[in-house]
């Protein structure tokens, strides 16, 4: 196990596009949840047969920047009591603008947190408010300014394709953002997940989304623009200044083992993927009663693992060995795959050289379609 993920599910509000295990207006359960979370950490550590080399820790959510200082201090005490953190290189905490100040950031640094990921999403206040994202662009700018001198590894998240944000709006905000003292930008396409408020509003045609062709063009423009300003792309959604690529996220893409703690947290041990209970009350009650909080487990077949290696490899700009694409392929499928690959190259979606293949920016923009066509 190389990485730990710690889930903090509490939020001051829940965005209409959010599909994650997150709870608004549940702050009264923070202390109880924290005790269950620490108990899970202790129990999992006790089950380990040998010391593990932990390299990254990620506090995700929810809104981890609402984790009360005294409880977060206790979490780190628990981690250090039962696990060795000597080899940890990167500890990230996710931050929502408006929930943090300079004093809290300085406290985080004393705990060993050395990377901060700020959920910007957009600098257009009106578009965010319509999606129940209750923050202002000035909150973002304040957080960036407060981080100076405390964090030199600051990442921001952006969403491409938000309703109410035109291509001109997106370009204007990116021109500002690349001037900020940040080291990393994550840029995600808006995903409309089933059963979210946004999903129902789209179904009712109350919200109109940008067309796919426009988004692909904007994505390709953004990739080139960020490269010109020192943010090199290394994965579909990830752009970093030299030396600041996310170690934790790369562990996921390289299929390294990781362990998730908390409600709804996922884990992967190299062959098996499993998930904790997604219901907050059931998670806490199960931990308090000494039960097993894992409610889903899947042992991956070799075929599934091979497909994952292709999918996760092609998410990264370095791509994969061409031979990986042809693993476990019979003669008929080999001919078909050659034809599909040639078509993707001809369409400017894929490049191939020296036994490697990788997706172009245009290919990365429609990565799921390309991988489905190839794999």
SS3 (DSSP) at 341: helix
What residue ranges of the chain are covered by domains with CATH 3.20.20.70? 3-253
pLDDT digits (tens, 9 = 90+) for 155-180: 999 999 999 999 999 999 999 999 99
Topology, domain 302-374: Arc Repressor Mutant, subunit A (1.10.10)
DSSP for 8-44, please give it. Answer: E-EESS--TT--SS-EES-GGGHHHHHHHHHHHHHHH
Burial, 147: exposed, middle or buried (Cβ in 10 Å; 0-12, 13-18, 19+)?
A: buried
User: Taking 80 as the threshold, does the pLDDT of residue 79 lie above it?
Assistant: yes
* pLDDT, mean of residues 341-361: 94
Helix/strand/coil percent split, the chain, to 5: 45, 20, 35
pLDDT, one tens digit per residue, over 242-257 is 999 999 999 999 999 9
Predicted TM-score of the model (pTM): 0.95
Which is nearest to 266 in space by CA: 238, 298, 237, 235? 298
Q: What is the pLDDT of residue 269?
A: 93
pLDDT at 201 > cutoff 80 = yes
Residue that is written with structure tokens 């889903």 in the block: 296
Please report, for residues 63, 74, 99, 104, 353, the alpha-carbon distance to residue 70 in angstroms, rounded to integers and kept in the order given: 16, 6, 16, 11, 54
CATH 1.10.10.10 occupies which residues in the chain? 302-374
**pLDDT tens per residue, range 118-156:** 999 999 999 999 999 999 999 999 999 999 999 999 999
Average pLDDT value over all residues in the chain: 94
Give start and end residues of each alpha helix (H) in 150-244. 167-177, 197-203, 212-228
Give the pLDDT band (50/70/90) at residue 117.
Answer: very high
What is the tens place of the pLDDT at every residue in 268-310? 999 999 999 999 999 999 999 999 999 999 999 988 998 899 9
Write out pLDDT tens, residues 20-71.
999 999 999 999 999 999 999 999 999 887 767 899 999 999 999 999 999 9
Count of CA atoms in the C-beta half-sphere (13 A) of 306: 12
3-253 homologous superfamily: Aldolase class I (3.20.20.70)
């Amino acid at each position: 196990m190389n990485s730990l993920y710690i889930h903090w599910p509490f939020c001051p509000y829940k965005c209409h596009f959010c599909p994650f295990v997150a709870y608004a207006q549940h702050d009264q359960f923070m202390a109880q949840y924290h005790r269950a979370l620490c108990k899970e950490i202790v129990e999992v550590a006790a089950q380990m047969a040998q010391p593990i080399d932990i390299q990254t820790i990620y506090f995700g959510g929810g809104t981890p920047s609402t984790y009360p200082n005294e409880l977060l201090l206790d979490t780190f005490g628990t981690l250090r009591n039962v696990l060795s953190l000597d080899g940890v290189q990167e500890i990230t905490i996710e931050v929502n603008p408006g929930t943090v100040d300079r004093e809290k950031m300085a406290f985080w640094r004393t705990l060993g947190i050395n990377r901060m990921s700020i959920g910007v999403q957009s600098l257009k206040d009106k578009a965010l408010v319509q999606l129940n994202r209750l923050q202002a662009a000035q909150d973002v700018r304040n957080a960036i300014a407060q981080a100076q001198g405390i964090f030199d590894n600051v990442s921001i998240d952006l969403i491409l394709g938000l309703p109410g944000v035109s291509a001109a709006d997106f370009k204007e905000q990116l021109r500002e953002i690349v001037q900020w003292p940040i080291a990393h930008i994550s840029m995600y396409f808006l995903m409309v997940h089933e059963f979210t408020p946004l999903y129902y509003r789209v179904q009712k045609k109350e919200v109109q989304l940008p067309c796919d062709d426009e988004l692909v063009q904007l994505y390709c423009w953004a990739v080139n623009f960020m490269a010109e300003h020192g943010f090199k792309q290394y994965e579909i959604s990830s752009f970093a200044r030299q030396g600041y690529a996310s170690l934790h996220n790369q562990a996921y893409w390289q299929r390294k083992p990781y362990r998730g703690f908390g409600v709804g947290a996922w884990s992967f041990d190299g062959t098996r993927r499993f998930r904790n209970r997604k219901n907050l009350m059931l998670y806490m009650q199960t931990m308090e009663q000494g039960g097993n909080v894992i409610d889903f487990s899947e042992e991956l077949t070799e075929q599934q693992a091979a497909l994952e290696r292709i999918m996760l490899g092609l998410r990264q700009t370095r791509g994969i060995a061409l031979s990986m694409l042809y693993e476990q392929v019979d003669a008929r499928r080999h001919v078909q795959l050659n034809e599909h690959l040639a078509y993707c190259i001809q369409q400017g979606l894929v490049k191939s050289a020296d036994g490697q293949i990788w997706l172009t920016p245009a290919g990365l923009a429609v990565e799921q379609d390309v991988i489905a066509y190839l794999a």
